Amino acid sequence: RKEVEQDPGPFNVPEGATVAFNCTYSNSASQSFFWYRQDCRKEPKLLMSVYSSGNEDGRFTAQLNRASQYISLLIRDSKLSDSATYLCVVNAINDYKLSFGAGTTVTVRA
């Protein structure tokens, strides 16, 4: 079983729509959670950290559910520039490495 699993999508949404997707992780010792964004043929970049109480950054909202071991990302009022692959990233206690999901692709159309 993969450490981090994501629905690959693609999620095709019109501009202005809301899109949300989840990611599940298998290691119950996971303690830090992130969403990274990767544009086509580019490097991954940190989008936001995910905190226990949930957090927002502009149009982006991240939630963590430790009991069910999943995190979610919601994008409101989608823009064309939100088209990208969103990588779910997890770090476990005493683990020196990040575990990446394979990504969820979002395409926002005009």
Partner 1 sequence: DTAVSQTPKYLVTQMGNDKSIKCEQNLGHDTMYWYKQDSKKFLKIMFSYNNKELIINETVPNRFSPKSPDKAHLNLHINSLELGDSAVYFCASSQDLLSGQGLGETQYFGPGTRLLVL
- What is the nearest approach in angstroms of partner 1 to the Cβ of residue 40? 11
- Choose between 35 and 82: whose C-beta lies nearer to partner 1: 35
Is residue 66 close enough to count as binding partner 1 by CB under 8 A?
A: no
Q: Is 100 in the site for partner 1 (CB under 8 A)?
A: yes
Beta bridge partners of 44: 38
Q: Which is nearer to partner 1, 15 or 45 (CB)?
A: 45
Look-up of token digits 């997890």: 90
By the rule CB under 8 A, 31 interacts with partner 1: yes
Q: What six digits make up the tokens of 49?
A: 């950290």
Q: For partner 1, which residue of 22, 26, 44, 74 counts as binding (CB under 8 A)? A: 44
Respond yes or no on whether the N-terminal peptide bond of residue 8 is cis (omega within 30° of 0). no
Q: How far apart are CA 24 and CA 2, in angstroms?
A: 10
DSSP state of 81: G
Minimal distance, residue 32 CB to partner 1, in Å: 5
- 17 is an interface residue for partner 1 by CB under 8 A: no
Of residues 68-97, those binding partner 1 (CB under 8 A): 85, 87, 91, 93, 95-97
Q: How far is CA 43 from the centre of its chain?
A: 15
Answer for the pair 61, 48: CB distance below 8 angstroms, yes or no. Answer: no
